[in-house]
C-alpha cells in the first residue's frame, strides 16, 4: 500500500480543528484526529471525512496536556499502516479559555489552561520531531491567538499560554530549520466557535464592533488560512501570522 503523508490535529472535534480536518482531508493526507472530551463529535468528524472519495483518518483520543497520553498517541500513529512511521504535519490546535480575575483563579485552573494550551504543544512537538528530522521534512503549525500578542483583560492565563506558544514557535523554528522543518503560528482573532458562545449578546456585539472587518471569522476561513500557511514555501518559518480582521 502506498503510504500517505500524516497530519495530526489536536482538538479536532469542533471549531477550527474540525474545519481544518474537513478541508485537509480533501488534499490526500491521512488524518489523525485528537480530542480529549468530545468523542462523539470527533466520531462525527471522522464519518464526514470517510464519506469523501479516497479520504482516510484515524481517531487518537486523549488529553494532550498529559505527556503519557501523548506518548501513547504517537505510539499508535507509528503503528498505522497508512503512514510511514509518523506525521509530516503537526497542528497544535487544542485549547481552552478561562475568563475571570487573576486574583480569583485557583492553582488548578491556571495549571489546566497552561497544560492544555502550552504544555500540550511541547509534548506533541517532542514526540513528532524525531520522525520529521529523520525524514528531513516536516511542518509544525501552532494555533494561537491575538491575545498572545497584546493580552486580554480577565484572560491572563489564556494570554500567557498563547504568548508562550509564540516564544516556542520562534525558538523551535530556529532549532529545526537546518532539518528542513518549518514551525509557524497563526494568531487568530475572534472566530465564531463554541469557545466564544459564552459571550452574552451585548458582549458579542461590543466585541464585534471593535473588529475593523465588522464580524467574527468563520471556522472555514480559519481552515483556509491554515492550508495557506502549510502550502507556503519552506523559507517561511518562525512566523507569528495575524488573522484577526484588522484588530491588531
pLDDT for res 25: 96
Task: Give burial (CB, 10 Å; 0-12/13-18/19+) of 125.
Answer: buried
Please tell me the distance from the alpha carbon of residue 187 to that of residue 169, in angstroms, as a whole number.
Answer: 11
Domain architecture of the chain: domains with CATH: 6-242 (3.40.50.720)
pLDDT for res 2: 78
pLDDT for res 161: 98
Please tell me the distance from the alpha carbon of residue 218 to that of residue 212, in angstroms, as a whole number.
Answer: 16
pLDDT for res 221: 97
Residue 190 per-residue DSSP state: -
158 is catalytic: yes
Q: Which of 27, 123, 158, 235 is catalytic?
A: 158
Angle at 59 between CA 88 and CA 134, to 5 degrees: 20
pLDDT for res 201: 76
Please tell me the distance from the alpha carbon of residue 117 to that of residue 219, in angstroms, as a whole number.
Answer: 19
Other C-beta atoms lying within 10 Å of the C-beta of residue 75: 10
Model confidence, pTM: 0.95
Phi-psi region of 22 (alpha: psi -120 to 50; beta: other; left: phi over 0): alpha
Other C-beta atoms lying within 10 Å of the C-beta of residue 85: 14
Segments of the chain scoring below 70 in pLDDT? 1, 195-198
pLDDT for res 206: 83
Amino acid at each position: 500500500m502506498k503510504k500517505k503523508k500524516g497530519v495530526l490535529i489536536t482538538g479536532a472535534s469542533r471549531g477550527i480543528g474540525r474545519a481544518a480536518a474537513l478541508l485537509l482531508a480533501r488534499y490526500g493526507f491521512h488524518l489523525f484526529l485528537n480530542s480529549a472530551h468530545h468523542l462523539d463529535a470527533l466520531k462525527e468528524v471522522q464519518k464526514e471525512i470517510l464519506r469523501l472519495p479516497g479520504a482516510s483518518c484515524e481517531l487518537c483520543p486523549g488529553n494532550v496536556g498529559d505527556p503519557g497520553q501523548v506518548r501513547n498517541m504517537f505510539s499508535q500513529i507509528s503503528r498505522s499502516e497508512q503512514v510511514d512511521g509518523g506525521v509530516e504535519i503537526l497542528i497544535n490546535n487544542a485549547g481552552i479559555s478561562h475568563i475571570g480575575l487573576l486574583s480569583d483563579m485557583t492553582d488548578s485552573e491556571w495549571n489546566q489552561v497552561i497544560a492544555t494550551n502550552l504544555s500540550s504543544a511541547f509534548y506533541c512537538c517532542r514526540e513528532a520531531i524525531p520522525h520529521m528530522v529523520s525524514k528531513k521534512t516536516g511542518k509544525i503549525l501552532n494555533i494561537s491567538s491575538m491575545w498572545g500578542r497584546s493580552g486580554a483583560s480577565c484572560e491572563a492565563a489564556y494570554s500567557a499560554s498563547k504568548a508562550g506558544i509564540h516564544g516556542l514557535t520562534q525558538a523551535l523554528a530556529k532549532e529545526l530549520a537546518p532539518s528542513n522543518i518549518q514551525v509557524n503560528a497563526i494568531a487568530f482573532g475572534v472566530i465564531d466557535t463554541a469557545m466564544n458562545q459564552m459571550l452574552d449578546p451585548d458582549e458579542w456585539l461590543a466585541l464585534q464592533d471593535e473588529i475593523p472587518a465588522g464580524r467574527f471569522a468563520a471556522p472555514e476561513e480559519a481552515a483556509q488560512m491554515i492550508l495557506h500557511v502549510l502550502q507556503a514555501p519552506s523559507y517561511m518559518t518562525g512566523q507569528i501570522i495575524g488573522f484577526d480582521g484588522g484588530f491588531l
